[in-house]
Structure 1
């Protein structure tokens, strides 16, 4: 598939590329942790997520963070709680967790278990003809309201429109 020169940092990877889009490419890994460990990155060589163009990245700039954790939990054994492929992009700041990798524990905890939350809500009974307001069952953090979530979605959509 690779027909032009492509680089992963200083390394020429044109022949290792197995998929590309206008802005990104997927490359087999020279030192995979496990079989199938691949890399997906922008075609343009850029050192940090925050250095990508607005078209390539948005979240870190909007939230003023210093890094991002990007994760996919694929299957129940990997912590996936909703059976629909999705990528977590988590803006990060230094010392946001006691240990850098605590974010993974948090993703797999009851707090991050969206599937459990949705199932609890599905099982709730209708009271006096109206559904109870959705409430996150975790005592560890307060849920955001629908208005807060809609406001953030509108703000991010506006940020995307600025660059289109």
Structure 2
């Protein structure tokens, strides 16, 4: 990847694991479940083609049986980074007590990112086994901390290898 990948004002080059002609996918700063990623368009044209491809591979990697695909368009819809993006969350039966709890977790995660931006902090800057950082169970929302750029880069490198093998 020679040119920088920007997500609004954030340089996310090291978090990119998939790229198409006009969109790319990055690992998430505060994933709700393992495999929670963002697909970001540079142009809208191939966005959903990229979403479908990333979804298919992630469901295999994380042995998911389904996925949540979400777009929050505008601040009043919960969007905190002012750039169109798609949340893609691989799902398994009973990963939440109530299926729709995922939306409450997503809303809280977006609110936490907004708090980091307000303070001026830089929030976003292999083999078949996920990086150690992704093997943990998901803690309560209030206990989740932003991941370091190094941890996110490790996951992106791991995911990128799947896409390179399946091209």
**TM-score, reference length from structure 2:** 0.51
Match of 1:155 in 2: 158
Determine helix, strand or coil for the equivalent of 1:139.
helix
Q: 1:68 touches 1:90 (CA, 8 Å); kept in 2?
A: yes
Match of 2:102 in 1: 103
Match of 2:117 in 1: 118
Alpha-carbon offset, residue 41 of structure 1: 7.1
Match of 2:61 in 1: 62
Q: 1:81 touches 1:116 (CA, 8 Å); kept in 2?
A: no
Q: RMSD of aligned C-alpha atoms?
A: 3.0
Deviations 1:76-127 (A, max 9, x none): 1211111110000001111111211111111112x3332322222x1x6xxx
Q: How does 1:10-159 map to 2 (within 5 A)?
A: 57-109=56-108, 111-113=109-111, 114-120=113-119, 122=120, 139-159=142-162
**TM-score, reference length from structure 1:** 0.52
Determine helix, strand or coil for the equivalent of 1:118.
helix
Determine helix, strand or coil for the equivalent of 2:56.
coil
Relative contact order higher in (CA < 8 Å, ≥ 6 apart):
2
Find the aligned partners of 2:103 and 2:54 in 1 and give their Cα distance: 27
Find the aligned partners of 2:116 and 2:93 in 1 and give their Cα distance: 29
Q: 1:55 touches 1:163 (CA, 8 Å); kept in 2?
A: no
| Equivalent residue pairs, number | 102
Deviations 1:39-97 (A, max 9, x none): x977xxxxxx9xx7x67721111112221101001111211111110000001111111
Higher helix share: 2
Task: Report the CA distance shift for 1:66/1:88 in structure 2 as closer, same or farther (over 3 A).
Answer: same
Q: 1:69 touches 1:90 (CA, 8 Å); kept in 2?
A: yes
